[in-house]
Structures are given as C-alpha cells and as structure tokens.
Structure 1
C-alpha cells in the first residue's frame, strides 16, 4: 500500500493511473463484453398482405351491386432463401427474401440465434458465402446494402429492402459487425421454386 501511495505521489504516477482508467473505459465501450451475457429477442410477424378492393368491391361500397366477397390478396411470396452458417460467432436460423403484396421486398430472419455484439447490421451482399475463417471478412469487399441495425440477436425479424435496390445483384445476407468488420454468420440466397 505504501508503494502505491509513493507512485501516486509522483506526477507521472497520476498520469499513469489516468491513462489506465481511460484505456479501461475505451476498452469497455469498444468491446461491450456485457453483451455476451445479454440476449434480445424480437419476434415480428411477416407483414400482412393488404386486401386491395377490386371493381366489384368498389361498386358494392357505392351501393350499386349486391354483396360480394372481397378478392383474396396474393400474399407474400418467398423469392429466395437459405440457412445461416456460423462465422465469427455461432449463428443459426433461416433467411428469406420476400416480395410483399404491394410489390415491396423484405429480408426476413426466422429463428435467428446468434451472439449479441456491438454494432451488428443486416447486410444484403453480392459476396459468396464461405465456410470457416475464409468467410469472415468477404462481405464488405463488393457491393452491399445495409438494411439497418440488427433488432435482436434471437427471434424472427423483417428488414425492408430499399425500393431502388437491384435484387439481381445480391446473392447473400450477412449478420455483419460493423465495428470489427467481421461476419457473425451468413446465408446464401437460393432462388425459391415457388
């Protein structure tokens, strides 16, 4: 204890303590180790199809025709999908590229289970999905679209694809850690037979 007082009594000792405290604070902010023990579960339903009234329903609403059942919506359609594989962290679940009834698109993560981490994003990319360490860093090498922050590290979630995105350019989805430039997990998008 006397030795600690002796070090702190010197000007360089106080500087050393301040540097150590600043380094510890930065390390906690940057790595956020508490997230390894915290899970966030988000369970969203697939956006529902909207019923668009046809001519018969419009006439019925105007009171000019007898009662007619509304047209059934086309509903969401899965265009492509795949299973998530693990990269930097154990990751599992299913990814689907879904066209909604209104023509918009979402990337849907179903039964996602991965580690929580700092600054996780959902990326739609043109990179091939590779097993093991070879696949950890490939997703920022080519074209990619960030669909936003990962809502939760567990559950089922929807991410809106920008309307102007050329979906023919993208072949995979990555759970990307933007802070450390590494994929937690990824899935190749294989065209659906529907």
Structure 2
C-alpha cells in the first residue's frame, strides 16, 4: 500500500512544482521587483531654442538687431507630491520659440516601476490614497514612457493638445492603474 501512494504522489508533486514555477515566473514578470533597486537617471537640458524676430516688426535693421527672447516661456508649474511611492520634483509646461509645447520634469525623484508613463490630465490632485487612481477617470494624454525615475526630462506635447485644458501631471503606472506621484499645475 505504501508503494502505491509513492507512485501516485510523484505526478502530483511534479505538477505542483511545475505550477509553482509558472506562478513565480508570472509574478516576477508582472511586478518586476528588481526595479525597486534600479535607478535610471536622465539629465536632459532644456530644449534648444533659437531667437526669432517679432512677427509684427518690419524687416528693418533695428528689428533684426533686437529679436524677441528665444528662451522657453513657462506657462504653468507645480510640485510633485507622493502617491503610491515617494515622489518629488518640479513640473513645468513650457512654450518654445517655435510655438510647440514641452512638459519638463526637474529634479524628479521617484521609485522605478513597471510600465510608468507621464500623463497630462484634467483630474484634481488629491493627497494620500484618495489621489492614487483618479487620473484615468477624466481626460488625459500620455506623453510617453517615463524616461528615468530620477533627473531632468522633457516630453513633447502633441500638437493637438491644448496645455490650458489640463490641470495636472501624473507619473502613472499603467500596469497597476495607480499614480506614483502627481502635481497640480498653477498657470503663470
């Protein structure tokens, strides 16, 4: 009788081990826990700009000698607050000399994680757990994957995205539908 139990239990044990290995593999892929110890620092400079003459100025020698300032104009700014993970830094919405818009993250410091994106949204920024998952409830535009969890980064806004229509920015984890951190944008 003891031999029969050993023979029957071997396939059960092999099956259990196979399922266990598969569950661990899927869990590692899904959660990617190693990213908690991996930092990716990005140090992008402000987007390059060139001086352009004022459109109302006549093409005279005086007008070409004094072009409008070519530096980016800050339209809105905000400070990141923590949600699911400790997050800090500054967010700016900039208009470049050519009329395009860029969202800039400065001194970003957050946790690394799976499937992180930068979202420009119309959702209110709420502190604590109440703010973790409000950003996909309204209008938002994804500006792409987060380039790194630390540093200074630029994200180009799509030409059809009106920066005035959005009131906040979120570092959004698409995998778990949660905000790592967010900033309310104050118009300047």
Q: List, as ranges, runs of 4+ consecutive aligned residues in structure 1 with deviation greater than 6 Å.
A: none
Question: Residue deviations 1:76-122, cap 9 Å, x none?
Answer: 00000000000000000000000011000011000000000000000
Write the mapping of 1:9-158 to structure 2, written as runs, cut at 5 A.
Answer: 10-52=10-52, 55=59, 71=67, 73-158=69-154
* Matches of 1:151 and 1:173, distance apart in 2: 15
| Ranges in structure 2 where 5+ consecutive residues have no aligned partner | 1-5
Q: Is the 8 A contact 2:53 2:68 kept in 1?
A: no
Q: Secondary structure at the match of 1:180?
A: coil
Normalised by the length of structure 1, the TM-score is 0.85
Question: Residue deviations 1:101-156, cap 9 Å, x none?
Answer: 10000110000000000000000000000000000000000010000000000000
Partner of 1:175: 171
* Matches of 2:7 and 2:151, distance apart in 1: 52
Q: Is the 8 A contact 1:8 1:14 kept in 2?
A: no
Q: CA RMSD in A?
A: 2.0
Pick closer, same or farther for the CA change 1:100–1:13 going to 2, 3 Å: same
* Matches of 1:177 and 1:163, distance apart in 2: 24
| Ranges in structure 1 where 5+ consecutive residues have no aligned partner | 1-5, 58-67
Q: How many residues align?
A: 177
